[in-house]
């Protein structure tokens, strides 16, 4: 290298080094707002906020580096959701991840410009959240938990098949839209299954009172509907404990319920659904419009059973259930 080349190389490095450092310092930090109805339980492995955060990390987003997450949870008081949604709007987050129908509605009412990625159970077209599943058309897209309806009729049928003697089946409920829709779907399916439903509303987290009512009504099995209120760590643990105490065969939404000691579950795979949410958040961060992103529907559902819990309940699963199980916990 001659002298002129050497001097040019040195000058070039002096010029580009500060530019590279400046670019590194000004790398964009994306802001994700998370809005949900439940309590904040950072250690809960089923927490959707935790799972979406992990999935985003796999896509290259690291909190404290290029990602900031603002979490606003209603702690079981849905009346707080509208004000929490407005907080996220005021913070100017890039995307709002809304968990459940009430959270989606609160976010929708709070902004027409910030993209919303929903995780929801009910038909978003019927609710006015989207024009169609294929082309939502507004600022809302996301992931549905079930492809059609809420799977309440399907779940009730599986529970009856697992416990043929159960002519009275208790169904936990809440004073909330998603829970009420599942109750109605289960009621429509009940007569053809030869089942009488005993609907018991859980009020203020009082599961002891709910199970006392279930026992008094002589229900022989328990249907726990799909809802974050029943899936969070506190609710999940208490329901499983009381179902064991009162020797009630129970069916749940997610396989994690069964891994924690529940009898059986039927539903989508939450980990995969959370990854799809993260993919949509990533695409919107990179410039995609929610209006053009089709609302995703799960394509795989899994039936999981716990033989250890069945033995403790004195229950033998029919061969028809065992043959269809995607996973059997011994």
The structure's pTM equals 0.84
Are residues 126 and 98 part of one domain? yes
User: 11 pLDDT exceeds 60?
Assistant: no
Check pLDDT > 50 for residue 10.
Answer: no
Say if residue 85 is in the same domain as residue 122.
Answer: yes
pLDDT over 90 at 141, yes or no: yes
Q: What is the CATH number of the domain that holds 306?
A: 3.40.50.2300
- Measured between alpha carbons, how far is 256 from 258 in angstroms, rounded to an integer? 5
Question: H-type helices in the chain, by residue range?
Answer: 3-25, 48-58, 81-90, 101-110, 152-162, 177-193, 207-216, 228-231, 233-245, 255-259, 270-285, 307-313, 319-324
Residues 37 and 141 grouped into a single domain: yes
Residue 241: inside a domain, yes or no? Answer: yes
pLDDT at 22: 42
Pair (236, 94) in one structural domain: no
The predicted structure's pLDDT at residue 2: 52
Please write the tens of the pLDDT for every residue from 191-240.
999 999 999 999 888 999 999 999 999 999 999 998 888 887 788 899 99
Q: What is the mean pLDDT of residues 267-283?
A: 94
pLDDT at 288: 97
- Give residue 121's pLDDT band: very low, low, confident or very high (50, 70, 90): confident
Whether pLDDT at 112 is above 60: yes
Domain count, the chain: 2
Find out whether 4 and 42 touch, Cβ atoms under 8 Å. no
């Amino acid at each position: 290298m001659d002298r002129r080349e050497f001097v040019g190389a040195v000058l070039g490095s002096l010029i580009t080094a500060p530019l590279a450092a400046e670019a590194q310092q000004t790398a964009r930090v994306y802001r994700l707002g998370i809005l949900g109805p439940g309590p904040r339980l950072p250690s809960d492995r089923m927490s959707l906020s935790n799972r979406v955060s992990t999935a985003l990390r796999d896509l290259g987003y690291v909190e404290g580096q290029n990602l900031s997450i603002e979490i606003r949870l209603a702690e079981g008081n849905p009346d707080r959701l509208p004000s929490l949604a407005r907080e996220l709007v005021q913070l100017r987050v890039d995307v709002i991840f809304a968990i459940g129908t009430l959270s989606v509605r609160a976010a929708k009412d709070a902004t027409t410009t910030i993209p919303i990625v929903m995780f929801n159970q009910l038909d978003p077209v019927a609710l006015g959240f989207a024009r169609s599943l294929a082309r939502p058309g507004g600022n809302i897209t996301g992931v549905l938990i079930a492809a059609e309806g809420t799977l309440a009729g399907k779940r009730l049928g599986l529970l009856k098949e697992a416990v043929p003697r159960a002519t009275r089946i208790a169904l936990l409920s809440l004073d909330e839209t998603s829970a009420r829709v599942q109750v109605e779907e289960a009621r429509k399916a009940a007569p053809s299954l030869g089942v009488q439903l005993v609907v018991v509303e859980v009020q203020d987290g009082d599961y002891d009172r709910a199970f006392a009512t279930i026992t008094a009504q002589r229900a022989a099995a328990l249907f726990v509907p799909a809802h974050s209120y029943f899936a969070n760590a506190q609710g999940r643990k208490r329901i499983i404990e009381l179902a064991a105490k009162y020797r009630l065969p129970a069916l749940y939404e997610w396989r994690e319920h069964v891994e924690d000691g529940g009898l059986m579950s039927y539903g989508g795979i939450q980990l995969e659904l959370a990854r799809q949410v993260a993919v949509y958040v990533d695409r919107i961060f990179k410039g995609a419009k929610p209006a053009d992103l089709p609302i995703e529907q799960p394509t795989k559902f899994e039936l999981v059973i716990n033989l250890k819990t069945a033995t403790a309940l004195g229950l033998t699963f029919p061969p028809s259930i065992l043959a269809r199980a995607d996973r059997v916990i011994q």
